[in-house]
């Protein structure tokens, strides 16, 4: 099967000389580039992308697909459906399933479920420690062999520095990046929102920025010493961003991601006690948001990842203190990136694609992805930058609707998603 | 209530002098009926019954040499229309410093119309004790045909037959610039 | 869901302006007289239903609301949900919808988590009155404190008020700071550094000062408000021992000497005698703790009246 995507605006930071080019796909691979107007080989289907952006498929480094074990929140199939509807061709699920993805069998199961769904690619992240309880290393080598692309204990960050050091040393043997949710729980436990003026005003227990800063600094020092690659997940504080900036200057192998909600919202939105404003790390204050925007601008922040964390409506219909952390994000991310970053002039399209595709592919060593150079895998995100639309949870493909962006209007959305040369979503 | 500013005065029923005379007569009648001032307990109903009750008190004192007991009742909490949209009644204080037990109460109000205000005042009085009797004095009685409850006044300044569309206003210097009673109507559209 | 036209929530003092606060206090002032009558009952809210929904135990606040409702002739129902529904797995929203289906006119809610009244207000048709939510607000407590102060000093504007103790976890402190500063008092707060975060100074725009020592806050004060120390805080290591707390932060006669000669002492109760307040201070004529309780009923009558349809007046 041959498909030609023509007349669009091709954006590929890995191959910038691409003006006026069409992308020819054959058997799931980018066969080559044609000049717009050039006749494709016989039997080629043509997709007219006039007025649209053609980008290498977006890769979300941080999602929670809840399967196995919490299928009432999300399944791999429903999560992948939400992913492709949001323009994501690949997603990397965290290991906090039930049971925890701390062995090759579960890693393999997740990949098989994704293949069965036939929508987005799923690249699982394995656990650092067995059951993510911080005490014994998980079988990283076996998980890697089964298809895991990184390791993390995500929301249950390894509290013990000695264990974290060993984990980094061991992960390095398998070229696995260590994904680090930075939170010193001795400072944040019991907290439900950012600690600051708003938490004091609302009488809610705070999670200080300090908890993220300290853990980030600790793990950067460990990464420097071990020479391992650490990837700091959902960075949200000025302190952590500054630590990453310095570490990068010193040549430490550190990368980081930011979520759309952290570059969009502040803790002020917690004022109505809507539990869909509760997540970890929490929405921070103005000054942290400013530091995030600065980090996106100057390249300190490498990637945009959603931290898509579906929860059932009943679980969120609780007291703010008792409701679980997390919001959905796969379907709103591109809209938020356009609203908050592109249309506001924070970054250009090239950089957006870098943050959503080229860099994520590099960070998790996803060969043949993150670019549309001939020979690469034909994962493509096609975006209409001018399409105005409204997010409605009721129309969501995710099983959950725990989003603070209900009713938000966006300009810019993924209109066609191609995975392995196959159109899997069209808006 | 209609916006007061839009009301048009149709006719003037009393001026200051006639009000004065009517009150003097009421004071005399109250004293006569109660055989002196000793047992009388005047209770003004907020708002316009209060200054009227004060004046009656002074007139009775001038007549008899003794000041009758005097109090104020606010019927807001006893109204039967709290759930009516738009009523939004404001609570003021009831001041009955002297015990009403076995007293001859004379409720004082400006206008007797449907009788509902008096019903509320009676209910409230009963919550304060058991008076020997309760009488009612009003400056204006708009006529029996408007009554929604079996309530009549014992002392009446003037009976003024009115239509339902009309509004009788007793103007007192405590609240208004002048002392007078007028019939008002909403201007027809 | 459409709310009835005249319903009005009281979620916190924070949402009110100074005129509204004065309006409630003035209305409460007019309700005081009813509580001194032989027959302490008026028919105002006859046929209305008030549900006291208490997820946290509080005999005093609940009794005060119940008396307030009954003296206004409302039907008052008390529900203690301390553990029943929550353990059965019913969500907060379910609980609210179930109660709402019984058509109450007002739900008075007390809960250990901040924001619960706000969450209920979004789904309920009844007026929601906050009777204390977590560390957020305790609106009627601040109103009755204000009534006590006003009754004693004749005004609130210009007064100096010291608030001493566990500010971090205190809804009483938050509501009082909002109320007192809105009405023009200046508030000084003090307590252990672990319980008086410095960011707290930003709670309101002006009129609030953080003091390093209890003595600084009390000096020259017209009103000294002592917060209750919750004993479980000690386990979280906010301070070493109750003994040390009472020595360094408790209100003793000597510390009270620093306040104005006629300064009054308030405490939201129940008191830990000998810990945050010395017994002789609690029993002295300057302590108006029982007045606070007394005015509580009038304040809650005013709040129930206003939230179900009455309007604010002045005496």
What CATH code is carried by the domain that includes residue C106? 3.40.50.1370
| pLDDT tens track for C233-259 | 666 788 988 999 999 999 999 999 999
- Looking at the structure of chain C, the number of domains it has is 2
Q: Is A418 left (phi over 0), alpha (psi -120 to 50) or beta?
A: beta
Work out the percent of chain A whose per-residue pLDDT is above 90: 96
- Looking at the DSSP bridge assignments, the partners of residue B109 are B138
Shared domain check, C154 and C38: no
C251 within domain boundaries: yes
Closest CA to C277 of C185, C200, C162, C176: C162
Q: Whose structure tokens read 């103007």?
A: B171
Picking from B73, B77, B97, B123 by the largest number of C CB atoms within 10 A of its own CB, the best residue to mutate is B77
Superfamily grouping for domain A2-53+377-426: Urease, subunit C, domain 1 (2.30.40.10)
Nearest to C309 among B74, B82, B124 (CB): B82
Q: What is the pLDDT of residues A265-313, one digit of tens each?
A: 999 999 999 999 999 999 999 999 999 999 999 999 999 999 999 999 9
pTM for the model stands at 0.88
Half-sphere exposure of A48 (CA within 13 A, CB side): 2
Question: How close does chain A come to C12, measured CA to CA in Å?
Answer: 10
Q: How many CB atoms neighbour CB B164 within 10 A?
A: 9
User: In this structure, are C72 and C188 located in the same domain?
Assistant: no
CB contact under 8 A, B82 and C45: yes
Q: What is the mean pLDDT of chain A?
A: 96
CATH superfamily of A57-363: Metal-dependent hydrolases (3.20.20.140)
Q: Is the separation of the CB atoms in B175 and B6 below 8 Å?
A: no
Taking only the tens place, the pLDDT of each residue in A90-128 is 999 999 999 999 999 999 999 999 999 999 999 999 999
- Residues B19/B24/B30/B33 CA torsion (nearest 10 deg): -120
| Residues C29 and C124 occupy one common structural domain | yes
Same domain, C220 and C301: no
pLDDT at C97: 87
ipTM entry: 0.91
Same domain, C164 and C224: yes
> Is residue A137 over pLDDT 80?
yes
Domain contains C86: yes
Touching A (3+ Cβ pairs <8 A), the chains are C
In a domain, C6, yes or no: no
Separation between Cα atoms, residue A282 and residue A301, nearest integer Å: 18
pLDDT at A1 over 90: no
On whether any CB of chain A is under 8 Å from the CB of C201, the answer is no
Q: Are residues C184 and C262 in the same domain?
A: yes
Class of domain B17-78+90-162: alpha beta
Asked whether C185 and C179 are in contact (CB, 8 A), the reply is: no
Query: Which residues of A are designated catalytic?
Result: 307
Which residues on C lie below 8 Å from B75 (Cβ)?
none
pLDDT at A261: 98
B84 SS3 class: coil
Helix intervals (H) in B44-115 = 49-64
Q: Which of residues 299-318 of A touch C (CB under 8 A)?
A: 314, 317-318
* Structural domain contains residue C104: yes
Q: What is the DSSP letter of A156?
A: S
Chosen from C70, C304, C305, C310 to mutate, greatest number of chain B CBs within 10 A: C310
Residue ranges per structural domain of chain A: 2-53+377-426, 57-363
Each residue's pLDDT expressed in tens, for chain B with a length of 189 residues: 445 567 888 899 999 999 999 999 999 999 999 998 888 999 999 889 999 999 999 999 999 999 999 999 998 888 876 655 444 567 787 888 888 888 999 999 999 999 999 999 999 998 888 999 999 999 999 999 999 999 999 999 999 999 988 999 999 998 888 999 999 988 765
- How many Å apart are CA A107 and CA A126, to the nearest integer? 7
C126 with C155, same domain: the answer is: no
Mean pLDDT value across chain B = 89
Query: Which residue, among A203, A193, A213, A144, has the nearest Cα to A323 in the 3D structure?
Result: A193
Q: Are residues C98 and C154 in the same domain?
A: no
What range defines the domain where residue C103 resides?
18-136+296-307
Q: What is the mean pLDDT of each run of 10 residues along chain C (315 residues)?
A: 59 94 92 87 91 90 96 92 61 85 94 94 93 96 97 96 95 97 97 91 92 96 94 75 93 96 94 94 94 94 89 49
Examine the domain organization and report whether C122 and C223 are in the same domain.
no
Q: Is residue C11 part of a domain?
A: no
- Check whether A47 has a pLDDT greater than 90: yes
**Do C199 and A318 make contact, defined as CB atoms within 8 angstroms?**
no
């Amino acid at each position: 099967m041959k498909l030609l995507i023509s007349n669009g605006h091709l954006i590929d930071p890995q191959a910038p000389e691409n003006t006026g080019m069409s992308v020819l796909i054959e058997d799931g691979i980018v066969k080559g580039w044609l000049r717009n107007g050039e006749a494709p080989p016989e039997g080629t289907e043509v997709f007219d992308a006039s007025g649209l952006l053609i980008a290498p498929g977006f890769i979300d480094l941080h999602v929670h697909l809840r399967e196995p074990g919490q299928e009432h929140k999300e399944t791999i199939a429903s999560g992948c459906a939400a992913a492709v509807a949001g323009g994501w061709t690949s997603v990397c699920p965290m290991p906090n399933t039930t049971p925890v993805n701390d062995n090759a069998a579960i890693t393999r199961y997740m990949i098989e479920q994704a293949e069965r769904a036939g929508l987005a690619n799923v690249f699982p992240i394995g656990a650092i420690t067995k059951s993510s309880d911080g005490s014994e290393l998980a079988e990283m080598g076996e998980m890697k062999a089964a298809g895991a692309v990184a390791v993390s204990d995500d929301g249950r960050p390894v509290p013990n520095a000695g264990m974290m050091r060993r984990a980094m040393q061991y992960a390095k043997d398998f070229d696995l990046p260590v994904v680090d949710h930075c939170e010193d729980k001795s400072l944040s436990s019991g907290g439900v929102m950012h600690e600051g003026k708003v938490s004091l005003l609302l009488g809610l227990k705070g999670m200080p920025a300090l908890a993220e800063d300290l853990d980030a600094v600790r793990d950067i020092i460990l990464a420097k010493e071990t020479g391992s690659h650490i990837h700091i997940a959902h960075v949200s504080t000025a302190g952590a961003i500054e630590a990453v900036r310095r570490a990068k200057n010193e040549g430490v192998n550190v990368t980081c991601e930011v979520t759309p909600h952290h570059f969009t919202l502040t803790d002020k939105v917690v004022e109505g006690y809507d539990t869909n404003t509760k997540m970890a790390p929490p929405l921070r204050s103005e000054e942290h948001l400013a530091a995030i925007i600065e980090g996106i601008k100057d390249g300190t922040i490498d990637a945009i990842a959603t931290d898509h964390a579906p929860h059932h409506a009943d679980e969120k219909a609780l007291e703010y203190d008792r409701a679980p952390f997390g919001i959905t994000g796969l379907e709103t991310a591109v809209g938020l990136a356009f609203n908050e970053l592109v249309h506001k002039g924070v970054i250009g399209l090239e950089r957006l694609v870098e943050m959503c595709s080229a860099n994520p592919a590099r960070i998790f060593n996803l060969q043949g992805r993150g670019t549309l150079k001939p020979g690469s895998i034909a994962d493509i995100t096609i975006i209409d930058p001018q399409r105005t639309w409204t997010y409605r949870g009721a129309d969501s493909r995710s099983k959950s609707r725990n989003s603070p962006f209900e009713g938000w209007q966006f300009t810019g959305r993924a209109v066609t998603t191609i995975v392995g040369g196959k159109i899997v979503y069209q808006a | 209530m209609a916006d007061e500013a839009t009301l048009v005065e149709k006719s003037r029923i009393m001026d200051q002098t006639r009000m004065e005379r009517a009150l003097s007569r009421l004071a005399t009648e109250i004293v006569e009926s109660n055989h002196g001032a000793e047992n009388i307990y005047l209770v003004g109903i907020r708002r316009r019954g209060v200054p009227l009750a004060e004046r009656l008190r002074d007139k009775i004192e001038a007549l008899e040499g003794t000041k009758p007991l005097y109090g104020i009742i606010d019927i807001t909490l006893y109204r039967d229309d709290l759930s009516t949209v738009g009523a939004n009644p404001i609570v003021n204080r009831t001041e009955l410093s002297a015990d009403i037990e076995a007293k001859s109460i004379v409720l004082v109000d400006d206008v007797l119309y449907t009788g509902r205000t008096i019903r509320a005042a009676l209910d409230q009085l009963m919550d304060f004790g058991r008076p020997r009797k309760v009488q009612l004095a009003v400056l204006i009685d708009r006529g029996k045909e408007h009554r929604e409850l079996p309530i009549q006044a014992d002392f009446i300044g003037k009976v003024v037959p009115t239509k339902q569309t009309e509004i009788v206003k007793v103007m007192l210097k405590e609240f208004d610039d002048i002392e007078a009673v007028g019939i008002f109507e909403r201007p027809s559209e | 869901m459409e709310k009835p036209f005249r319903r009005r929530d009281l979620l916190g003092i924070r949402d009110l302006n100074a005129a509204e606060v004065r309006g409630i206090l003035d209305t409460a002032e007019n309700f005081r007289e009813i509580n001194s009558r032989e027959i302490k009952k008026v028919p105002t809210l006859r046929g209305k239903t008030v549900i006291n929904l208490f997820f946290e135990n509080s005999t005093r606040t609940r009794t005060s609301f119940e008396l307030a409702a009954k003296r206004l002739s409302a039907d008052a129902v008390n529900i203690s949900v301390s553990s029943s529904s929550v353990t059965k797995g019913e969500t907060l929203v379910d609980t609210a919808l179930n109660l709402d289906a019984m058509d109450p006119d007002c739900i008075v809610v007390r809960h250990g988590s901040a924001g619960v009244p706000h969450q209920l207000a979004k789904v309920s048709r009844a007026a929601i009155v906050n009777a204390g939510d977590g560390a957020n607000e305790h609106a009627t407590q601040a109103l009755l404190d204000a009534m006590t102060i006003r009754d004693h000093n004749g005004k609130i504007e210009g007064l100096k008020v010291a608030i001493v103790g566990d500010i971090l976890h205190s809804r009483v402190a938050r509501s009082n700071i909002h109320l007192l500063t809105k009405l023009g008092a200046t508030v000084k707060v003090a307590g252990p550094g672990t319980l008086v975060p410095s960011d707290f100074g930003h709670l309101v725009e002006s009129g609030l000062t953080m003091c390093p020592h209890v003595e600084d806050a009390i000096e020259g004060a017209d009103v000294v408000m002592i917060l209750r120390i919750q004993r479980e805080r000690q386990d979280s290591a906010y301070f070493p021992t109750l003994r040390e707390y009472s020595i360094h932060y408790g209100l003793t006669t000597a510390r009270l000497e620093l306040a104005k000669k006629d300064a009054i002492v308030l405490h939201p109760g129940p008191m830990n005698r000998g810990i945050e307040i010395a017994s002789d201070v609690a029993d002295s004529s300057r302590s108006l703790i029982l007045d606070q309780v007394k005015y509580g009923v009038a304040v809650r009558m005013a709040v129930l009246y206003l939230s179900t349809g009455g309007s604010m007046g002045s005496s």
